[in-house]
Amino acid sequence: MSVTALHLRGLVLPDDDERDLWVDADGLLRYDAVPDAVTIGQRAFVLPGLVDAHCHVGLDEAGGVEQAEQERQIIADRDMGTLLIRDAGVPVDTRWIDERDDLPRVVRAGRHIARSKRYIRNYGAEVEPEELVAEVERQARRGDGWVKLVGDWIDRDAGDLTPSWPADVAAAAIARAHELGVRVTAHCFGEQSVAQLVAAGIDCIEHGTGLTDEVIAAMVERGTALVPTRVQLDNFPTYAAAGEARFPRYARHMRDLHARADQTLRSAYEAGVALYAGTDAGGVLPHGLIGREVLALHEQVGLSADAALGAASWRARDWLGRPSMAEGESADLVVYDHDPRAEPQVLLSPRAVVLRGRIVAGDLR
């Protein structure tokens, strides 16, 4: 790929350093002047490309979607500054995205692995416990270093959330994934599943509304990450209402989890659990929500503006093994007119998005 050499001057985060940046004809970031570069901005605030650490490109409420809709979804994410996506499970093949220089990079987790008839129809690979290890092996081959378990869901016999997997089976599946060099994450709403999976050595928890002080302490000790998907959690009352008639215990539980969600997540953050921003876009939520998620982490959960930004940018990139504003690496950055630490609302309207050295959204003239 060849691009026009670019020059930009601005305050670069997280270093808080005002400096010049150049992009060479190969789309790589340079700190020294590049000949014939076109100056595209003199006063700006520059952030490493944003990361959506829980996103479903290729999914809607009914299941997998066709390529045209996948493209629409990922462009909506890109245009809000998301340039790296950690896929959290889809039933369709999205590898075509990797061939497009104008679309974000995707780190895949294969398909959700769910218990038979205990998850959303058409979403997951549904198996029984004795098949879990083999399914983890299959999804590890489909992914890019991650697999995703559905840790709990409503159990119609119990009338409430219960773990999807016996603890020993989940532990064996996680151990097998680690043997294969793959990290494991899991959807967990309730208390029991997250406790079992953290004890089993899982690498990451999605949602995490059922965390207790004891489990939080274990996550800190083990280095288990948390992607709380704070915007998604506000759908809990809707889920509760939908299940109230048949499953009143479940409805009460979901409302309780929602009522204390911010305090639960704040406790995890204050204890030292590594939190990363993920929107849970796809399914019931639209794409392009990364700015809203950062705002929710800051304003509702209580992360500092700097910590919330890092959870969606440089810290998330480091967690996923991707560079942030490093010289000689791909120029993936987001440009704002105002400092997002002082004015977080600016995250909802980036001035421009630069991916692989090309302006793919916005305007820097």
Show the CA angle centred on residue 313, arms to residues 311 and 315, nearest 5°. Answer: 60
Query: Are 138 and 35 found together in one domain?
Result: no
| CA 236 – CA 228 distance, rounded (Å) | 13
> What confidence score (pLDDT) does residue 69 get?
98
Whose structure tokens read 């004795």?
Answer: 130
Query: Are 143 and 292 found together in one domain?
Result: yes
> What confidence score (pLDDT) does residue 43 get?
87
Query: Are 69 and 184 found together in one domain?
Result: yes
> What confidence score (pLDDT) does residue 182 get?
98
With contact defined as beta carbons under 8 Å apart, do 240 and 254 qualify? yes
Using alpha carbons, select from 36, 29, 52 the residue that is nearest to residue 4. 36
With contact defined as beta carbons under 8 Å apart, do 109 and 147 qualify? yes
In a domain, 1, yes or no: no
With contact defined as beta carbons under 8 Å apart, do 132 and 168 qualify? no
| CA 365 – CA 353 distance, rounded (Å) | 13
> What confidence score (pLDDT) does residue 41 get?
82
Spell out the per-residue pLDDT of the chain, length 365, in tens. Answer: 567 899 999 999 999 999 999 999 999 999 999 999 999 888 899 999 999 999 999 999 999 999 999 999 999 999 999 999 999 999 999 999 999 999 999 999 999 999 999 999 999 999 999 999 999 999 999 999 999 999 999 999 999 999 999 999 999 999 999 999 999 999 999 999 999 999 999 999 999 999 999 999 999 999 999 999 999 999 999 999 999 999 999 999 999 999 999 999 999 999 999 999 999 999 999 999 999 999 999 999 999 999 999 999 999 999 999 999 999 999 999 999 999 999 999 999 999 999 999 999 987 65
Query: Are 344 and 222 found together in one domain?
Result: no
pLDDT tens per residue across span 201-213: 999 999 999 999 9
> What confidence score (pLDDT) does residue 40 get?
84
Boundaries of domain holding 244: 50-319
| CA 296 – CA 177 distance, rounded (Å) | 32
Query: Are 133 and 259 found together in one domain?
Result: yes
| CA 247 – CA 237 distance, rounded (Å) | 14
Kindly report the CATH number assigned to the domain that includes residue 91.
3.20.20.140
| Number of residues that make up the chain | 365
Q: What is the CA radius of gyration of the chain?
A: 21
> What confidence score (pLDDT) does residue 2 get?
60
Paired tokens of 160:
């409430």
Query: Are 267 and 284 found together in one domain?
Result: yes
Query: Are 108 and 242 found together in one domain?
Result: yes
Amino acid letter at 259?
A: A
In a domain, 68, yes or no: yes
Query: Are 39 and 63 found together in one domain?
Result: no
Query: Are 28 and 107 found together in one domain?
Result: no
With contact defined as beta carbons under 8 Å apart, do 119 and 126 qualify? yes
| CA 200 – CA 137 distance, rounded (Å) | 17
Query: Are 13 and 66 found together in one domain?
Result: no
Q: Looking at the 3D structure of the chain, how many domains does it have?
A: 2
Using alpha carbons, select from 73, 79, 77 the residue that is nearest to residue 60. 73
Element (H, E) at 268: helix 261-271
Kindly report the CATH number assigned to the domain that includes residue 29.
2.30.40.10
> What confidence score (pLDDT) does residue 42 get?
85
Query: Are 330 and 315 found together in one domain?
Result: no
Query: Are 72 and 12 found together in one domain?
Result: no
pLDDT tens per residue across span 255-304: 999 999 999 999 999 999 999 999 999 999 999 999 999 999 999 999 99
In a domain, 122, yes or no: yes
With contact defined as beta carbons under 8 Å apart, do 122 and 160 qualify? no
